[in-house]
Chain A
Amino acid sequence: MLTKLHGSKRTQLGLGLAAGFGFGFLLEKGGVARYDVIIGQLLLTDFTVLKIMLSAAVTGMLGVYLLRSLGLARLHPKPGSWGMTAVGGLIFGLGFATLGYCPGTISAAVGQGWLDALVGGLGGILLGAGLFASMYPRLRAGILAKGRFKSLTFPELFKVNPWVVVLPAAALIAAFLYWLESRGL
């Protein structure tokens, strides 16, 4: 692994900016800087968001697990629990539909000129994140710790070689995308 590069702070800030530029460029070209496209996904009339997310997941999964097998990358799976992940995920979902953007796509929406995103949405996200930071000490020992997951990843959970999960998962996602297209969605 490129540990020397990883430790170079200034270079990393530049690499973060470059990765963001590429990500924002792709999100805009994909149409997901638009409220209408994201709401279309949540109303199940336009599957652009899911197509982008799932094709990114398949591509990323095959490449990152290969890099890991070659010793060029390590994983950073996030810990979670039912109280943290499921409850937080549902609250996020309510916000996702009410705002019509998520933290990544709202940044792309700002770049495309959407002022509802810049004036309303960004301010709201900052307020919400600050509110969570204030409540964190009380939540941490309570609901966030409820039903903690013992395994970080599915290969760990099933106690198998990662490729035993990666290949079927990639095939299932590809089959689901093929099915979406065959239904004309």
Chain B
Amino acid sequence: MDLLTMGRWSPYAVGIGIGVLSWLTFILSDKPIGCSTAFARTSGMIERLLRGNKVLEKAYYKEFAPRIDWEWMLVFGIILGSFTSAKLSGQFKLDWVPSVWEAAFGPQPVTRVAVALLGGVLLGFGARWAGGCTSGHGISGTLQLAVSSWLAAICFFIGGIAAAFFIFRVLG
């Protein structure tokens, strides 16, 4: 099967595939694809390990209980699916520094990891503030023609484009 061992598919084939996948999740699970709630739940699970059951009293975790649910399994599945695809095409490689980053800021893993950590904090915080991410709002929400999701997706790109130009055209 050449298709499975190819390194890249057309973005349109991938997009149509994701669209069809979302039909299936709506039919079989009554759920839209989304990723960021799983991170909030995991954060609650880790906090519960460290601080005990009083974590469950937090207002946020009463709404989003820190437990493994459908979406958590979905995120875990993404790692497995991507790993399988990357192994089939020979793209799997352990690496610390992406080439675009390296060209602007050098090959040291520590700077890249520190900035990724900072970016991750902003991303996790912003995703929960907005109530969704590039999957939950950006794909699943826009396909449902949700008002909140179209605004969120536009703001993701306004913030993202502004910050990327600052990082790579001013700092880099």
Contacts and interface: CB of A to CB of B under 8 A. Distances in A.
Given A43-B165, A100-B116, A103-B134, A94 B58 contact: no
Interface string B121-138: 111111111111111111
B75 A20 contact: yes
B68 A29 contact: no
A24 B80 contact: yes
Interface of B: 6, 8-9, 11-12, 14-33, 35-36, 38-40, 42-44, 46-47, 58-61, 64, 68-86, 89, 91-101, 109, 112-165, 167-169
Given A56-B143, A84-B130, A24 B79 contact: yes
Given A59-B19, A97-B163, A103-B134, A20 B77 contact: yes
Interface string A19-41: 11111111111110111100110
Contacts of A97: 119, 159-164, 167
Interface of A: 1-2, 5-6, 12-31, 33-36, 39-40, 42-44, 48, 51-61, 63-64, 67, 72-81, 84-117, 119-134, 136-137, 139-140, 144, 149, 151-155, 157, 162, 165-166, 169, 177
Contact of B60 (A60, A92, A133, A157): A133
Given A56-B18, A133-B61, A126 B46 contact: yes
A22 to B, nearest CB: 5
